Amino acid sequence: MRTLLFSLCGAAFCACLAAGQRTPVPPGVREADKLPQPADIPPQIKPMHSVADPAQLQREAAELSRLAQSIPSQIDQVVKGGLPKDLGEQLKRIEKLSRQLRKEVSH
């Protein structure tokens, strides 16, 4: 009985020693601890939005208007069976100009 008690105490003691051992620290971890933490880093200054060039906005709006006015006559040609060669490209340009204007005006 006494040997069993000593054996159990010895096993428990060895388990405590094994649990108390530290695992080795991988290389670089201690260096990472020296880096500034998020609270130490100053906040980034957000860039200010650039003001849209009024002359550029006017030019784009005028081109958009000119292109949009030419579409109904070209659609009439499509209805009559013809296909204007640059209709697709004009529609793409209208789409691009409207996207640009919307982006510049909304900022």
Q: Is residue 71 part of a domain?
A: yes
Query: For residue 84, is it within any domain?
Result: yes
Q: Is residue 76 part of a domain?
A: yes
- 94 in any annotated domain: yes
CA atoms in the 13 A half-sphere facing the CB of 92 = 4
Q: Tell me the per-residue pLDDT of 34-90, one tens digit each, with 9 for 90 and over.
A: 666 666 667 677 666 667 788 999 999 999 999 999 999 999 999 999 988 899 999
What is the extent of the structural domain holding 80? Answer: 54-106
pLDDT tens, position by position, 14-33: 555 555 556 676 776 667 66
Domain count, the chain: 1
Exposed e or buried b per residue across 48-57, where buried means at least 16 C-beta atoms within 10 angstroms of its C-beta: eeeebeeeee
The answer to whether the predicted template modeling score (pTM) of the entire model surpasses 0.75 is no
Tell me, yes or no, whether 99 lies in a domain. Answer: yes
In angstroms, rounded to a whole number, what is the distance separating the alpha carbons of residues 25 and 34? 14
23 inside domain:
no
